[in-house]
Amino acid sequence: MVLVVARDAPDPIPDAQKAARRLEALGVPRDRILARAWSSCTVVEARAVRVLARAHGLGDLTILTHPYHRPRAARIFGEVLAEARVVAVEPPLLAPRELPPELRCVSDELRCSMPHGTDLLRERLVEALLFALHAADPRGRVERWLAARLRPGA
């Protein structure tokens, strides 16, 4: 299992660390959890997941992401790690009655991470821009350059 999580909120505890703790509490062995504290660029993350998957002998990978990010993530992961599936975590799936009992405790956390209103509009615009940039620059040079300026320290 690989957790790659962007940390956009100013929280001292990275989201990946929170998710890893929750998975441990649900019984996932610690040695099966790899957590990255920061995500700066989807192209870089797809390459990191490829390296980690090969190094740890992981075969069946599912990448979970927000619905607005799924098309671009699917395209990039398809180019970098074709065997990975990219799945959007749709809000109806987060209803506690739809989740298995052992995952109901994370429903509120997942729901809270979904952008709404103007945040969602901003994210969709950013995704459209990055999707177009990726079409022109599949190696991700522009995305990496932007990420270094927009998310310093990532």
Q: What is the pLDDT of residue 152?
A: 60
Where are the chain's structural domains?
A: 2-150
Q: Which secondary-structure segment (H or E) carries 25?
A: helix 15-25
Q: Which residues on adjacent β-strands are paired with residue 4?
A: 36
| Residue 118 token pair | 């103007």
Question: 67-95 pLDDT, tens per residue?
Answer: 888 899 999 999 999 888 888 777 666 56
- Mean residue pLDDT of the chain comes to 78
Does residue 46 or residue 115 have the better pLDDT? 46
Tell me the torsion sign for CA atoms 132, 70, 52, 34: positive
Q: What is the pLDDT of residue 2?
A: 58
Check whether 106 has a pLDDT greater than 70.
Answer: no
What is the identity of the amino acid at 111?
A: R
Q: What is the pLDDT of residue 57?
A: 87
Does residue 128 or residue 144 have the better pLDDT? 128
Nearest-angstrom CA–CA distance, 42 and 91: 22
Does residue 25 or residue 152 have the better pLDDT? 25
Percent of the chain residues past pLDDT 90, beyond the cut: 12
Q: What is the pTM of this model?
A: 0.72
Check whether 125 has a pLDDT greater than 70.
Answer: yes
**Lowest-confidence segment of 98-107, 117-126, 131-140 by average pLDDT:** 98-107
- Read off the pLDDT band of 4 (50, 70, 90): low
